[in-house]
Amino acid sequence: MMKRAEKEAVIANIKTDIEAAKAIFLTNLIGVEANDAVAIRKGVRDAQGKMVVTRNTLFRKAAEGTTVEKMLADLKGPHALAFAFEDAAAVAKCLKEAGEDHEVVDFKGGFLNGEELTKAQVIELASLPSRDEMLGTLLATFNAPISALARVLFAIQEQKESGAEPAPAEAAAEEAPAAEAAPAEAEVAPVAEEEKKDGEE
């Protein structure tokens, strides 16, 4: 049996987590084998979250005066709270995947940025890509043109080191004589005309 001081400490910790979390999910871990429960907790922790299992009365007292007070007011049966401090989608996804292997791990409600979510909305949130997944996709998109540019720059650098001129410079060099030839040809016409006039005189 928990002592009064222990209960107060649990209540205080849960209240702190409620106030700090970006998202809170009402679920359950009771009935899950110890090793699997540890794995689920680790998955949530790796997603910058936290799982708490305690008595419903302590959940209720900790929620008093907070945004989740209504959700935790009349709990019946075993429950657990999952807190997401950074990536709500990642924590929700972790619980969703755990629920695929363990029936008792399901969504009973949730809050995101102070707004209450229905069970369907929590499931939809769990289907979204996590922040890490989105960043990975974004980086892959950026890396494609960057890789191509890097290859071009490397090729130019190799040409310079070998003493060969880059292709654009060669093209410019070829165009220069052609451009100089045009005025020379234009100068021939006046000279020919002068010679013709001298002959007629």
HSE of 188 in the Cβ direction (CA atoms, 13 Å)? 5
**CA-CA distance, 179 to 27, in Å (whole number)?**
79
Residues 102 and 166 in one domain: no
Terminal Cα distance for the chain, rounded: 134
b/e 163-200 (16+ beta carbons within 10 angstroms → b)? eeeeeeeeeeeeeeeeeeeeeeeeeeeeeeeeeeeeee
Residues 165 and 77 in one domain: no
Looking at 101, 128, 155, the residue that finishes a domain is 128
User: What's the predicted TM-score (pTM) here?
Assistant: 0.65
pLDDT above 90: percentage of residues in the chain: 58
Residue 149 belongs to domain spanning: 133-200
**CA-CA distance, 26 to 109, in Å (whole number)?**
5
Residues 86 and 123 in one domain: yes
Number of domains in the chain: 2
pLDDT tens sequence for the chain (201 residues): 789 999 999 999 999 999 999 999 999 999 999 999 999 999 999 999 999 999 999 999 999 999 999 999 999 999 999 999 999 999 999 999 999 999 989 999 999 999 999 999 999 999 887 666 555 554 555 555 656 656 666 676 677 667 655 555 444 444 444 444 444 444 444 444 444 444 444
Residues 59 and 81 in one domain: yes
User: How far are the Cα atoms of 160, 169, 171, 181 from residue 175, in angstroms, in the given order?
Assistant: 21, 10, 6, 10
